[in-house]
Structure 1
């Protein structure tokens, strides 16, 4: 299953979702949100898939929302954001509720909706150079993408509020210490390690 913004491949019963806009840090626009929902539905329903991995193309997981595409909507930005988040939230709902493990392979920056998406995963493996930041209040938005639900359950309310209020950036090691990440691995071993785990779970 291949789209422009989100790519899905299946290997050994593992569905590999790749956010595929590396030229903009895999920023989420309306097309990517819609395609992610389609892929999430397919993964949740396909009997060929027993475990799912999500990662980003290039050297970033996802920098969050595509602010330039949002700004281009002008006076229609409010309704546009509602459309984007409707698709995004439906995608996350299918991924979280499917009867299959969801593993995040965070290969760089996970910001805004990218960090929220990582928090929604059952397990998260991160490369040594990965970074996590909520980033929402920098652009005057409240956290979406399930971040406000999952983050407090992972790190506790006080730490979650600190991350949301201050945009404090966590490196991979600190994200691991806070429980956002299960394991930190060398950059060049991230996908091999995650796929090995996913295949074990699929079996």
Structure 2
């Protein structure tokens, strides 16, 4: 698809050193070309939430981390042709040329945060209180409803201890406990299988 519809990006795409980086980039091109909904394979849908997603602007889920990133690319929706995605491609190209091999920075959530910031700066009405206006028309989906912190799925005792520590010192947003299913639309299990 990139070779056919976005040939100017093919060299950058082919040069990305990790498969997850190419997978991240491909998501953005699919959403630009076709629109729709993207979910990570470890995202569990609890209820049909299609009608709760905006159909006129992209939506990304709020990160449960206060410090690492504002959004995550584990759940994204978009109408076709939205101008956010070319900003993301430009950032990927720029960051790939810098030599960084960090997927989160080059193609993942930190890159998307910067793309949203740049896109928002081009919008003039960003001072109203509606959720999409605060991000220049990009909807940020509350982690309380869309992505609570999971417990008991860690790969090791170290991960469990880290998560307990991070939660106790306020590194995580108050997204709620995944074991309390009220108002919860889905669960991102965060298995980081790509890492």
Kindly indicate which of the two structures has a greater share of residues assigned to strand: 1
Q: Rg: which structure is higher?
A: 2
- Give the TM-score normalised by structure 2: 0.30
Kindly indicate which of the two structures has a greater share of residues assigned to helix: 1
**Higher relative contact order by CA 8 Å / sep ≥ 6: 1 or 2?**
2
- Give the TM-score normalised by structure 1: 0.29
